[in-house]
Every structure is written in C-alpha cells, then in structure tokens.
Structure 1
Amino acid sequence: MNYDVFNGDADGIIALLQWRFADPLETQLVTGVKRDIKLVEQVEVQAGDELAIFDVSMEKNMSALEQALAQGAHVFYADHHRSGTIPSHGNLDAHIDLDANTCTALIVDKLLKGRFHTWAITAAYGDNLIAKADELADKAGLDAGQKAQLKELGTLINYNGYGSKVDDLHFHPADLYQALKQYVSPFDAIADNASPYYQLQSAYQQDMNAAQAVPAVHESSKLKLFVLPNNAASRRISGVYGNWLANQNPDSAHAVLTENADGTYTVSLRAPLSNKQGAVAVCGQFSMGGGREAAAGINALSKDDLAAFIDAVETYYA
C-alpha cells in the first residue's frame, strides 16, 4: 500500500503536489487540519508499504515512524520542523532542513531540481517566507503582478488549513490537494474561474475583515497580542492573520489567541521577522506547545497561564 501523509497547510499540500507531479501514483491520503500533526500513527503499516511524509514534525511522530520502519515499511520523509534524533535505518530516506528560511516545499523543490518551481514559490509565500519567495520569484523572472498572484494563492491555501476540526475548513485538505492536482502550474489554477482559488478568496476577505476589527488586548515594543472569539471564522483566520501582522511590524512578536469552547486559548505565535527564532522555545514551555523557530503555537493555553505566556514572550525578545 502507498500512503501520502501531509500537513493540511500550503507547505504540506504543495510539497506533495510537486512530488506527485514528478511521480504520479495512486495513494491513500492521510491529512487533517494544520495542527493535526500526529498523522503517521493514523497509518496501519504493513511490511512493504511505502510512506511519503511531508511537513509534519518527525519528533512528534517518532514512535509511529519507528514502528513503521520496524514493520518493514519504506519511508520518504521531508520536513523543516524540529526532528529530534533522526533514526538510522536503511528504509528511511530523510530530508530534514531546520533553516528558518526554508519550508518543506522548497526542500522538495531542490530534490526535483526546480521542475515545478512556481509551485514551490507559492508554498514559500503561503508559509510567510515572503523575502525568500520574493528572492526566488525575482530569480525566476516573475513580474510584480505574477508575484502578487502567487503570494495570494499561497496565502489562501494556507488559510484553508486552520481550524480546530475539518468542519471549520472550506475544503478538506485532501480534497483541496486533489482539486489543485489538475494544475501543473499555479497560474493555471488562478486562470480557472472554477478553481478553489476564487471560493477561498471571497471567504478569506470576510474572515480577515472580522479579525482586523478586534483591538489588541496587549501591546508593547516586543509583543502585540489579540484574542479572537470562539467561532469558525476566528479559527480559520488565526494563522494567516498572525502572518499578516508580522509583516506589518517586522520588529515585534505577534500572538493571535482564539477562545476555545472549554475556556482555554489556541495560540498562534509569530517571532519578529527581523529575528526569526524563539517561537518554538516560548511555546514549548507550555503544555501542548510546539512548532518551529519562526512560528509556533499552543493548542490549549489556560487563561490562568496567559500572563505567564506574555511574560515568556517579552522575556525571550527583551
């Protein structure tokens, strides 16, 4: 059996798109909302199975990965999140790069020698690697209008991945992947009025307008923090809103908290773009926290811990 395991955000979807454009194969798709990262354990592995895994932390999936290898599966693994100690195993082909200025789709782009480069640039924009994406787009000879189109498409694909459950999303990530797979170029997706691009474009603007109307609850030279209400629109927009805020003020950290039904907060933290490190160190101090250097989160932060979270961010970036 062949399995494709991938994060439901822009980076995971587009990393897999490139891989399957290069190596078309019918596979079982395993994915979910962006924060659903323990995906490898969802696969019932048997000897001889082939797993291709994109944009989910190896560290968070280590026990399931080791079990899959022990069962005799062959695993290709590409990612840019914290990996832990990478297993030394003949059946594991791991491509892990923790550089804050790369993403999984760019790792795959290098492996494929740029065969679907405009898709990789789209993923970089979606993962908020704006400077890197601009640099790659300029080298590729794209004009300002084309760059803006790829940036918007990447942002919209990423936006679709946020939610506490799949019902919050406009498209199940597997369905979005399948819909995009018919476009070998991202410009083809943009040119097709029936593509998901246009449905996501309209929904994104509505959700963004609602988020931008919410005032900050904490603001200092080091951190700006917002709390969004408990609804699907807030859960959908939280991550891309955090990216948008980071680009407005690159010298500050930004946190977007969304109220959960149980009284906790879901946290999206963005490190300052001028100092893209430390987000995972801050969020890792709290239960259910994780991520990467430039962007991290906490799935359930107690309201009693909000002051401690603010203090942790302020202290780290002091």
Structure 2
Amino acid sequence: MHYDVFNGDADGILALLQLRLAEPKTSTLITGVKRDISLLKQVDLTQATSVTVLDISMEKNIDALQPLLDKQIPVVYIDHHRSGDIPASSFLNAMVNTSPEVCTSLLVNDHLKGKFYLWAIAAAFGDNLQATAHRHAKKLGLSSQLTQQLEQLGVYINYNGYGRSTDDLHFHPAKLYEKLLGFESPEPLFSDKDSLYYQLQQAYNDDMAKASRAEVLFDVEHCKVACLEDAAWSRRVSGVFGNDLANQSPDKAHAVFTKNIDDSYTVSVRAPLNNKQGADEVCIQFPTGGGRAGAAGVNALPESQVEQFIQVLSEYYK
C-alpha cells in the first residue's frame, strides 16, 4: 500500500497534485489542517510498501520516519521546512531545501521539469512567495490576468487549510485535492462560475472583511501584533490575514493571535518580506512552536506568555 502524506495547505495539496498528474498512483491519503504536521505517524507500518511525504517538517516527523526506513520502506520526502539531521539511508530520497525563496511545490516543479508549472506558481503565491511567483510568471510569459488568477487561487486554497480541525474548513484537504486532480491546468476553474475557485473566493472575502476589524495588541515601526476572537472564521483567516498584513507592510514583522477554547492562543508569524528570516527562530523558543524562516507559528501559546512572546518578537526584529 502506498501512502501520500501531505500538508493540507496550498503548497502541500498542489505539490501532490503535480506529482500525481505526472505519476498516477493509487494511494492512501493522509493530511489535515495546515498546522497538523505530525502526520507521518499515521502511516500503518504493517501495510505500507512505499511513502511520499510533502511539505511537512522532517524534524517534526523524524520519530515516525526512522521506523519506516528501518523496515526498508522506500520514502520520498520533499519539503522546505526545518529538517534537522537527515537520516543516511538508501531507502530515503530527500529533496529538502530550506531557502526562504522556495516552497515544496516549486521543488516538485523542478523535479518534473516544469510539466505543471501553473499549479506550482499558484502554490508559491499561496505560500506568500510573491516575488518568486511573479518572477516565474514573468519568465514564462504569463498574462497579468492569468498571473492574478493564479495568485488568488493559491491564496484561497491556502486559506482553506486553516482551522482548529477539518470541521472549520470549507473543503477537507483530501477532498479538495481529489477535486483538483481532474484538472491538468487550473485555467478551467477560472471560466466556470460554479467552480470551487469562486466558492472559496466568496468565503475568503467574507472572512477577511471580519478580520479587517481585528484588535491590535502591539504596533511599532518594525513589528505589529493583531488578535482574532475564538471563532471558526478567525481560525480560517489566521494565516492568510498574516500574509495580507505582511504584503501591506513589507518592512514589518507580523504576528496574528487567535484565541483558543482553553484561553491559549494559536500564533501565526510572518517575517518582514524584505528580511525573510527568523520567524522559526522566534517560534521555536516556545514549546509548540515551529515553521520556517519566513513564516512560522505556535500552536498553543499560554495566555501567561503573550507578553513574553511579543517581547521576543519585537526584540528579534528591532
């Protein structure tokens, strides 16, 4: 049995989409909300014959990866998050690049020699790699209209991945992937007014209108922190709202706090777009933190550590 294990955001979904369009394969899908990254442990060691892992940190999944390799189960691992020490095994094919200018879908795009480049560009936009995505679009001669549509598609798919559980989402990531698998190119989605592109567009616009009224906890020249209430819409926009703030003020670091049911906070951090480093370094100082240089987060920040977190964030980027 083959397993495809992938992040439920735009990058994870569209990385797998490219791979399976190029290399169709019957597989068991393992995914979840964007922050559910300890996914590899769900693979059944007694059933697995091979595994593909996309867009989840190897460092966070090493305890589940090593038993697979010990059982001589071939693993393809493609990612751009913190990897830690990559195991030396002939059963591991690791394509890992932690540069802040790449995402997993772009690594897959390179692997496939650009066969499904429109999906890769949409994913790069979804991961808020604006400059990188625009550079690829320009190099390939895409029209400004198509480039804008790919940008919006990436943002909407990414937006769909955020939530406390998949109940918060408009589409379960596995179902969204399966719907998209019917399209070699995203272009038909833009011409069909009933497509999931327009369904997600309406939902995104409704939620972002609410986010524009978010409480500001801290705002100085180099750093801004906003807070959202404990609600499904808040959890859906927590990441894309952070991206939006970062795009509006590219010299600032941003954090978006979303209140959890236990009075802790889920935190999304975006490094300044003009200085895309350090977001992971800030977040790993807290027990449930992780991510990458340009974008990171904390899954459950205790209320008692809110001021400490803001201080650490502010001091880092001062």
- What interval of TM-score do these two structures reach, taking the shorter chain for normalisation? over 0.9
Tell me the amino acid that sits aligned with residue 149 of structure 1: Q
The answer as to 2:249 corresponding to 1:246 is no
Which residue number in structure 1 is paired with residue 144 of structure 2?
144
Q: CA deviation at 1:47?
A: 7.3
Amino acid at match of 2:194: A
Contact 2:155 2:240 in 1 (8 A): yes
Paired residue for 2:56? Answer: 56
Moved more, 113-122 or 68-77: 68-77
- The SS at the match of 1:204 is helix
Report the more deviating stretch, 282-291 or 210-219.
Answer: 210-219
Amino acid of the structure 1 residue aligned with 2:314: E
Distance change (3 Å), C-alpha of 1:48 and 1:39: closer
Distance 2:316 2:217 in 1: 20
Specify every segment of 5 or more residues in structure 1 that has no aligned partner in the other structure, as ranges.
none
CA distance in 1, matches of 2:80, 2:30: 19
Aligned equivalents of 1:128 and 1:47: distance in 2? 37
8 Å contact 1:106–1:120 — kept in the other structure?
yes
Instruction: Report the counterpart of residue 258 of structure 1 in structure 2.
Output: 258
CA distance in 2, matches of 1:171, 1:108: 24
Q: Distance in 1 between matches of 2:168 and 2:47?
A: 36
Aligned to 2:98: 98
Match of 1:313 in 2: 313
The amino acid across from 1:289 in the alignment is G
Partners of 1:292 and 1:197 in 2: CA distance: 28
- Give the root-mean-square deviation of aligned CA atoms: 0.9
Shift in Å, 1:71: 1.7
Deviation at 1:190, TM superposition (A): 2.0
1: CA distance, partners of 2:274 / 2:141: 26
For the 8 Å contact 2:3–2:48, the answer to whether it is kept is: no
Match of 2:3 in 1: 3
Q: Within 5 Å, which residues of 2 pair with 1:197-208? A: 197-208=197-208
Is 1:298 aligned to 2:295, yes or no?
Answer: no
Following superposition, the deviation at residue 188 of structure 1 comes to 1.9
Q: Distance in 2 between matches of 1:70 and 1:281?
A: 31
SS of 2:5's partner is: strand
Which residue type is aligned with residue 285 of structure 1?
Answer: Q
**Distance in 2 between residues matched to 1:29 and 1:190, nearest whole Å:** 27
Following the alignment from structure 1 to structure 2, what is the Cα–Cα distance between the partners of residues 194 and 109?
A: 28
Question: Which residue of 1 is the match for residue 16 of structure 2?
Answer: 16
Alignment partner, residue 155 of structure 1: 155
- Cα distance in 2, alignment partners of residues 177 and 185 from structure 1: 13
User: Within 5 Å, which residues of 2 pair with 1:72-87?
Assistant: 72-87=72-87
Q: What code does the residue aligned with 1:74 have?
A: P
Name the SS for the 1:225 alignment partner. strand
Report if aligned partners of 1:46, 1:71 keep a CA contact under 8 Å in 2: no
Aligned to 2:184: 184
Query: Which residue of the partner structure matches residue 36 of structure 2?
Result: 36
Q: Is the CA contact 1:46–1:72 (under 8 Å) kept in the aligned structure 2?
A: no
CA–CA distance in structure 2, aligned partners of residues 194 and 202 of structure 1: 11
Distance 2:85 2:96 in 1: 11
Contact residue 47 and residue 71 of structure 1 kept, 8 A:
no
Give the structure-2-normalised TM-score. 0.98
Q: Give yes or no for contact 2:2–2:48 (8 Å, CA) kept in 1.
A: no
C-alpha distance in 2, partners of 1:144/1:47?
47
Shift of 1:27: 0.6
CA distance in structure 2 between the aligned counterparts of 1:101 and 1:48, rounded to whole angstroms: 33
Quick check: 2:126–2:158 contact (8 Å CA) kept in 1? yes
Q: TM-score, normalised by structure 1?
A: 0.98
State the shift of 1:184 in Å.
0.6
- The answer for the alignment partner of 1:109 in structure 2 is 109
Greater Cα offset, 186-195 or 132-141: 186-195
Mean Cα deviation higher: 277-286 or 47-56: 47-56
Per the TM alignment, residue 189 of structure 1 is displaced from its structure 2 partner at its CA by 2.1
Q: Distance in 1 between matches of 2:110 and 2:160?
A: 26
Q: Residue 79 of structure 1 aligns to which amino acid in structure 2?
A: D
Question: Could you tell me how far 1:287 is from its partner in structure 2?
Answer: 1.1
Aligned partners of 1:31, 1:11: CA distance in 2, in Å?
12
The offset of 1:48, in angstroms, is 6.3
Q: How many residues align?
A: 318
Contact 2:215–2:228 (CA under 8 A) maintained in structure 1:
no
**AA of the residue aligned to 2:177:** Y
* Runs of 4+ with deviation above 6 angstroms: none
CA distance in 1, matches of 2:131, 2:45: 40
User: 1:120 offset after TM fit, Å?
Assistant: 0.4
SS of residue in 2 equivalent to 1:300: strand
